[in-house]
Amino acid sequence: MIRVDRGPKPEGLEAIRKVEVKRLAAIVRSAPPKAKNFGNKYNVARRDLWKAQGRTCCYCERRIDRLYNDVEHFRPKTRAYRGGGRPTHGYWWLAWTWENLLFACPRCNRGHKRNKFPLARGSRILPTRHSPPGPERPLLVDPSGKDDPIDHIQFVPFHQAGKKEKWIPVARGGSRRGKRTIQVLKLDRPALVTDYGDHVSDLVNHHVKKIREAIHARDGRATAKAWRSVLKILFHPRQAFKALSYDVLDHHFPLVIRQQWGLDLYRP
């Protein structure tokens, strides 16, 4: 997971938000809203989100080459599981708010995140009609928030004799939010772990080898050229698994080596 920059708000979204929030407010006065009450006018934002995220899922970073109809609400709109007990009211007034919208793959959105929004113990719920974060202390890492997801989630290699190397997401430095995010979104699910391994073996390792060869030859110019090339390819806006690539490069070329050769590993 990497930081998401949504860019400017889509034309027409604010006008839709004002009308729809007023409509939902009337419904909420008599009963909790249901999914069917929301409609799908927030889908006006889906193409802008898809493009802003480089056509990748905001959570798992898989490529999404087909523009489907779902828009992910970071704070769930209908009901919210905040940890323990039954779900309570969702953040219905944020259903059309640009800062609450993301684009996620069906597996992350519908299969795992759904209406989960765990809060830290003792955290108070955001009051109705208020803007986040307010008094809330979410345990999920927001890819579009102030925090950098790379500060909370790290990919580490896992070796088994006779088997292909795996890369597994773990909580960086024991980050509680990183751990909970991995758990909720199932970022370590077997299918994803397979994709991580394929990405490293099919793409990243080729470039790692070229950089190592240049370093072994003590060729500073070739090393710098190979490094610039790999960052351009692996951190391209439409490339999948950029956070994974960052950690693979950091693993093979730790800070002491990068400083020695003047290599800058910026965060994607």
pTM of the model: 0.94
- Positive/negative CA dihedral, 202, 207, 210, 215: negative
pLDDT string in tens for the chain (268-residue length): 999 999 999 999 999 999 999 999 999 999 999 999 999 999 999 999 999 999 999 999 999 987 776 799 999 999 999 987 788 899 999 999 999 999 999 999 999 999 999 999 999 999 999 999 999 999 999 999 888 999 999 999 998 777 788 999 999 999 999 999 999 999 999 999 999 999 999 999 999 999 999 999 999 999 999 999 999 999 999 999 999 999 999 999 999 999 999 999 999 9
Q: Which residues have C-beta within 8 Å of that of residue 37, sequence separation ≥ 6?
A: 24, 27
Q: Is the Cα dihedral 49, 53, 54, 55 positive or negative?
A: negative
Token pair of 261, please?
């050769």
Instruction: Parse the chain into domains and list their residue ranges.
Output: 13-113, 152-261
